[in-house]
């Protein structure tokens, strides 16, 4: 299985990244292909809700690191999302990532 792991803490080498890397190690040992993307080192801006992606085949108008994550996501069989708890919720970085998956909403999700 091709697994994409996205970590959403702004803190490099913090608990979230340690936990995700332990998961990735075990998954690789079990024979899976694992790609880890750490939002602490990447730029993922908030969704602009412009719906440009809806008329441009799922391509986002913003040119930041979310483009390469979306490419990884399109090739993944499973997404593992790891976030610290921030005020009883996911971190702002994780929420930006979740919102930016809207680029695939029209193409890949039927609702």
Ligand X SMILES: Cc1cc2nc3c(=O)[nH]c(=O)nc-3n(C[C@H](O)[C@H](O)[C@H](O)COP(=O)(O)O)c2cc1C
Q: Which residues bind to ligand X, rule: CB under 6 A?
A: 9, 11, 14-16, 84-88
Of the pair 20, 53, the CB lying nearest ligand X is at 20
Task: Measure the CA dihedral 4/34/81/15, to 10°.
Answer: -150
Q: From residue 33, how far is each of 9, 27, 30, 57, 73 by CA, in Å? A: 23, 8, 9, 27, 13
Task: Measure the CA dihedral 51/54/57/58, to 10°.
Answer: 60
Would you say 70 and 6 are in contact if contact means Cβ atoms under 8 Å apart? no
Minimum CB separation from ligand X for residue 7, in Å?
7
Of the pair 17, 70, the CB lying nearest ligand X is at 17
Of the pair 15, 71, the CB lying nearest ligand X is at 15
Minimum CB separation from ligand X for residue 94, in Å?
11
Minimum CB separation from ligand X for residue 6, in Å?
13
Of the pair 62, 91, the CB lying nearest ligand X is at 91
Minimum CB separation from ligand X for residue 49, in Å?
25
The angle subtended at Cα 110 by Cα 45 and Cα 55, nearest 5°, is 55
């Amino acid at each position: 299985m091709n697994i994409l792991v996205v970590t959403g803490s702004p803190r490099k080498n913090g608990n979230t990244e340690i936990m995700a890397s332990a998961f990735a190690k075990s998954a690789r040992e079990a024979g899976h292909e694992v790609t880890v993307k750490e939002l602490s080192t990447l730029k993922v801006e908030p969704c602009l809700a412009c719906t440009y992606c809806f008329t441009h085949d799922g391509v986002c108008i913003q040119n930041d690191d979310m483009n390469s994550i979306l490419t990884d996501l399109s090739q993944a069989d499973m997404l593992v999302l790891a976030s610290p708890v921030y005020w009883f919720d996911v971190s702002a970085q994780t929420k930006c990532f979740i919102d930016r998956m809207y680029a695939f909403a029209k193409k890949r999700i039927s609702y």
